[in-house]
């Protein structure tokens, strides 16, 4: 099935079942069907995509966080896969920086556990209902979320490196 056909099928199903859920018209960037779903509907939409017998997106390939270019919103990106039919879909949801919360997907896909912990660790996105939401890669004492754009990529206090070594 071509991605445009899959896009049409999913869009029809979601529009019929969750008329207010689709926040942005669906697209097919980088050859992957993509939907932006309102945060308030994300859990129900993910559950539907997983449990619907026709769509059957039973495998969560990846889950990660992101920050918008305007630095005012954070988001979560879910990559889902229907292995028997080899369908793939990308689902995105966004929320304000001052309330970075979204329901956990661990109740749908237990494998989301570590992905959500990593996303929390680097972006500070809280997954409501997660069984053990704590840092997984950074030290517990860290009080920042290093993948957010307000933090510099390099340690500005270091004096043991020369800019000429980095092409500056």
pLDDT digits (tens, 9 = 90+) for 51-63: 999 999 999 999 9
Q: What is the pLDDT of residue 154?
A: 67
DSSP state of 55: T
Q: What is the pLDDT of residue 57?
A: 97
- Which of the two residues, 96 and 3, has the higher pLDDT score? 96
Provide the token pair at 88: 């793939």
Q: What is the pLDDT of residue 7?
A: 84
Give residue-wise pLDDT tens across range 24-61: 767 787 778 899 999 999 999 999 999 999 999 999 99
Give residue-wise pLDDT tens across range 116-167: 999 999 999 999 999 999 999 989 888 888 888 877 666 667 777 666 666 5
CA distance 12 to 68: 28
Q: Provide the residue ranges of all domains of the chain, joining segments of one domain with +.
A: 3-151
Is there a contact between 33 and 54 (Cβ–Cβ < 8 Å)?
no
Rounded average pLDDT over 14-25: 89
Q: Are strands 126-128 and 101-103 parallel, antiparallel or unpaired?
A: parallel
Q: What is the pLDDT of residue 2?
A: 67
Residue range 3-151 in CATH 2.60.40.3080: no
CA distance 4 to 28: 8
Distance of CA 31 to the CA centre of its chain: 18
pTM comes to 0.87
């Amino acid at each position: 099935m071509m991605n445009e056909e899959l896009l049409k099928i999913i869009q029809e199903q979601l529009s019929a079942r969750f008329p207010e859920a689709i926040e942005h018209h669906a697209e097919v960037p980088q050859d992957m069907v993509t939907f932006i779903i309102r945060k308030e509907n994300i859990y129900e939409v993910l559950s539907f995509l997983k449990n619907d017998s026709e769509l059957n997106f039973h495998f969560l390939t990846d889950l990660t966080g992101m920050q918008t270019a305007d630095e005012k919103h954070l988001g979560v990106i879910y990559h889902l896969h229907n292995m028997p039919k080899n369908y793939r879909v990308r689902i995105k949801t966004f929320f304000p920086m001052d309330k970075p919360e979204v329901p956990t997907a661990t109740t749908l896909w237990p494998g989301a556990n570590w992905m959500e912990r990593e996303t929390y660790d680097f972006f500070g996105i809280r997954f409501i209902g997660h069984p053990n939401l704590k840092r997984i890669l950074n030290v517990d004492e860290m009080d920042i979320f290093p993948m957010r754009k307000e933090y510099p990529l390099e340690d500005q206090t270091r004096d043991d490196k020369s800019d000429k070594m980095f092409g500056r």
